[in-house]
Amino acid sequence: RGSIMINSTQISYFTLAAYFDTGVFKYLLFTLILSLYVFIVCANLLLIVVICMNRSLHEPMYILMCSLFVNGLYGSTWLFPFLMIQIFLDSHIVSASVCFLQIFCVHSYGAVEYLNLAFMSYDRYLAICDPLHYNTRMTYNKVAMFIFLTWFYPCFAMIVLLSLALPLQLCGNIIYKVYCDTYSVVKLACSNTSLINIYGLIATFSTIVGCLLSIMYTYMRILQVCLSGSEQTRQKAVSTCTPHLAALLNFSVGACFEIIQSRYNMSGVPNMLRIFLSLYFLTCPPLFNPVMYGLKMSKIQVGPIHPKSIYYARVIIE
């Protein structure tokens, strides 16, 4: 760090020091990232269009699923084009405005993902544990409220976070990652960071731990129903919940990687592995979620429409 304190609003750029010279492999790496991005966009868009165009899929489970795919597009669209530009131009400089925009995107993406998965687990809980009252408890108004909270809360929380980060006095502008995040910027601060650290801990704890506790509770209830139910009930519960649990595990592992490599000294870990760990939760969920759910949606059958059926006016997954 330098000895001169610089206001972050006066810094014109940050240097992303985690990049390395790819040499002759630059175009191969660029092509690989472009291919991954095209696949992610096509896969997520395809399922969004299928859900929107098929009226039989206009059900709470698929609406929440659609929100998950939109978030996958959101997370990958701010990341992949940026990575491609950095690699193709061999330029590892990012303007201050773009850096803070990345901070907003990366943290809001993570919060939206967890909230979306929490509301999806609640939907599965009602469908399996209280199917007779599913349609009265999981109304479209409630789904709309869930979608609103899923996107509004992270955006509001990030606006508050940025309002605390922008006034920080910084002693440098070198970030040892391939993108900007809050913790990397806060580590450059010479001024008191107690307020933003406390807020960050509270926001992170309330989002991640709150969502995980909610998901754990719903799956404990689902497990109780499965243990006391018939073989058919268990099979349907496993079939319905497996993609959700896989998506949750995939994203949580990636988020854990990011937290560990951001908070602890990873200088002994190879640079390529550190980059992979920091990008996992941004690339793998948007890549695998449409694949996992797409495989299930390929087996969709429309249940019988009967007033007394527990699958009344719903699409069931066999």
* pLDDT at 154 (0 to 100): 95
Q: How large a percentage of the chain has pLDDT more than 70?
A: 89
* pLDDT at 225 (0 to 100): 83
* pLDDT at 130 (0 to 100): 85
Distance CA 249, CA 44 (A): 19
Contact 117, 248 (CB under 8 A): yes
Q: Average of pLDDT values for 215-230?
A: 86
Q: Average of pLDDT values for 201-210?
A: 90
Model confidence at 48, in pLDDT bands (50, 70, 90)? very high
Question: 96, 95, 98: which is closest to 9 by C-alpha?
Answer: 96
- On the CB side of 19, CA atoms within 13 Å amount to 25
Give pLDDT tens digits for 142-167.
999 999 999 999 999 999 999 999 88
Question: 300, 293, 315, 290: which is closest to 71 by C-alpha?
Answer: 290
Q: Average of pLDDT values for 36-40?
A: 95
| 269 or 38: which leads in pLDDT | 38
Given a cut of 80, whether residue 72 has pLDDT beyond it is yes
Query: How many structural domains is the chain composed of?
Result: 1
* pLDDT at 215 (0 to 100): 93
Range of the domain at 129: 6-317
Pick left, alpha or beta for residue 23 (phi over 0 → left; psi -120 to 50 → alpha; otherwise beta). Answer: left
Q: Average of pLDDT values for 138-143?
A: 92
Average pLDDT, the chain: 84
Contact 165, 8 (CB under 8 A): yes
Given a cut of 60, whether residue 4 has pLDDT beyond it is no
Give pLDDT tens digits for 79-108.
999 999 988 888 788 988 899 999 999 999
Distance CA 264, CA 259 (A): 8
* pLDDT at 318 (0 to 100): 35
Question: 251, 249, 248, 225: which is closest to 238 by C-alpha?
Answer: 225
Considering the domain boundaries, does residue 1 fall inside one? Answer: no
Considering the domain boundaries, does residue 232 fall inside one? Answer: yes
Question: 162, 186, 192, 193: which is closest to 172 by C-alpha?
Answer: 186
Model confidence at 10, in pLDDT bands (50, 70, 90)? low
Q: Average of pLDDT values for 101-121?
A: 94
As given in the structure block, the two tokens for residue 141 are 């108004």
Considering the domain boundaries, does residue 269 fall inside one? Answer: yes
Q: Give me the amino acid identity at 222.
A: I
Q: Average of pLDDT values for 210-225?
A: 90
Cβ-count burial 136-163 (b if 16+ within 10 Å, e if not): eebeeeebeebbeebbebbeebbeebbe
Give pLDDT tens digits for 258-309.
888 777 777 677 878 888 888 898 999 999 999 888 877 665 433 333 333 3
Considering the domain boundaries, does residue 102 fall inside one? Answer: yes
Contact 275, 178 (CB under 8 A): yes
Considering the domain boundaries, does residue 121 fall inside one? Answer: yes
Q: What is the CATH number of the domain that holds 66?
A: 1.20.1070.10
